Copies of this chain bind each other. A is one copy, B any other.
Amino acid sequence: MNKSSTVTVRPSLPAVSTAGGLIVQAEALELQTTERVELVDLTDQIRDVLRRSQVREGIASLWSMHTTCALFINEVQSALHADIQRFFEQLVAQNGEWMHNDPAHSDCDRMNADAHLRAMILGHSLTLQVTGGAVVLGTWQRVLAAEMDGPRTRTIRVQLMGIG
């Protein structure tokens, strides 16, 4: 994670909904990225959302609100993150002859076809398990956001659903 990236929680989401013991509630994580391509560790912020909630057994859905920002699971290690970035640079060339980047075929001025394709491979959402009021993760697993067309302000919606 780039040192200057920040993740904050936007307190503007609707209140908790409950019915017969089921709780559904949501918060938005706001993420300020600082590079065009960048991996950001969201694990601690997601754990904080859980701690503030009443859900103890259930699921936590994470949803990136953007087509060019993905969510995925992996280890946090700068060497591995450099490998992941290099892998995507080789798999989807930024300067490939993409129609999405061609003004004759596209009104998108961000020239970001590579970002669409790279995020598509990782996917835009994760559904985690929650038990004992915490997300279930393996020893080396961390929840990562993949900024593919930054720097931008990104929103990740976290929805918890389960039993209190």
- Interface of A toward B, CB cutoff 8 Å: 14, 17-22, 24, 26, 56-59, 61, 63-67, 72-75, 77-80, 82-84, 87, 91-92, 98-100, 102, 105-106, 108, 113, 116-117, 120-129, 131-132, 136-141, 155, 157, 159, 161-164
Known A116-B80, A127-B127: A24·B57 in contact at CB below 8 Å: yes
A72 CB to closest chain B CB (Å) equals 6
In the complex, A82 Cα to B14 Cα: how many Å?
39
Assess A126 versus B125: contact at CB under 8 Å? Given A18-B163, A19-B163: yes
Structural contact, B124 and A141, CB atoms closer than 8 A: yes
Contact, CB under 8 Å: B138 / A66: yes
Complex CA distance for A79 and B107, rounded to whole angstroms:
10
B80 touches A106 (CB 8 A): yes
